[in-house]
Amino acid sequence: MGKKTFALEIDGRAILKLERGHQELLFEIRPETFSKCPVATVYWSYVELGHLDEAELSDLVLEAWTQIVPKKVSRPVLEARGGR
């Protein structure tokens, strides 16, 4: 989105900008799939793509996208998906 990044893919692994509370939970309960990726003074998430199905990956990419776009842009998309 413009100059803002929310997702990258490198060698079968993604780097996603997830909501902080959600990613902390994922680091704790699924460490084989999610780990910390230091970015400036915060953490993003390394995600092992082989451990996800298409639906979960889609939800995570959407979550990452909502972290960088204005709420007036993301709200209609989330509502169209049933609030997910």
Give pLDDT tens digits for 28-58: 999 999 999 999 999 999 999 999 999 999 9
When pLDDT is cut at 50, 70 and 90, the band that residue 2 belongs to is: low
Alpha-carbon distance of 44 to 41, in angstroms, equals 10
Confidence at residue 84, expressed as pLDDT on a 0 to 100 scale = 52
Question: Does pLDDT of 1 surpass 60?
Answer: no
Give the pTM.
0.85
**Average confidence (pLDDT) over 10-23:** 95
Confidence at residue 79, expressed as pLDDT on a 0 to 100 scale = 83
Asked whether 34 and 47 are in contact (CB, 8 A), the reply is: yes
